[in-house]
Amino acid sequence: MCECCGGESAVRMVLLGAPGAGKGTQASAMQQRWGLVHVASGDLLRDNVKNDTELGRKAKPYMEAGELVPDDLILDMMEERLARPDAQSGFVLDGFPRTLAQAEALDARLETMGQRLDAVIYLRVSEEEILRRLSGRLICPQCHAVYHADTMPPKRPGVCDRCGTALVQRSDEDPEVVRKRLQVYEEQTAPLVEYYRSRGLLHEVDGAIGVDRVLAKIASILEAAAKRVGAREPQ
């Protein structure tokens, strides 16, 4: 059960936001503080390939060729992950869905599982702030921990606190590349935002007010969502 909601109900949610908006940071904080399972689409793909699962073997050729993995494959991975026992206490999806077609397909998959989304948090951050964040971001290639040279540096420069691996900066976080990524994101996500808004699930949060304040706002949203979930669950 979601501890932020007094243990009343499992809450199932999606985090939306541009690259660098803080989705991974907030999802990890929710996992650590409230026990919500953090499902990041990129990590899910890499884990399936690393573990040589049937789905991972199907996805590997696309990833090695630098092509997009088909939606059906990602959805199959999502469905398998969300069916595990730990996800029954609530989950937060990070990086998926990214398009309207994916959102509609996700809803259909969840319905077959007897589940539904309870909240969608949209982290709004300006382009200038995202460029500042990504220019200093460091990532562990082994455990995927994220740091920032200015705001969240590792204890030892250039080394992951968790596993001791040398940190790297992603090649796609060059300022010009980031601007192009943001343009693509806005084009893909605008219909997605309106889709969730029309369903009464969307909650916009200023992602630039600091990690703790953002988390506090999300907690109040989840608490209200959990009450709605409890109200519709059979007694």
Residue 170 among the catalytic residues: yes
CA distance 27 to 151: 18
**Is residue 137 among the annotated active site residues?**
yes
82: its two tokens: 């969300």
Q: Which of 99, 51, 107, 94 is nearest to 71 (CA)?
A: 99
Long-range contacts, stretch 183-187, CB < 8 angstroms, 24+ apart: 185/18, 185/19, 185/98, 186/18
Give me the residues paired with residue 120 across strands.
14, 202
From the list 170, 197, 217, 228, the catalytic residue is 170
Which pair of structure tokens corresponds to residue 103?
């959102």
Pairing, β 12-17 against β 91-94? parallel
Task: Determine whether 23 is an active site residue.
Answer: yes
Active site residues: 23, 98, 137, 170, 181
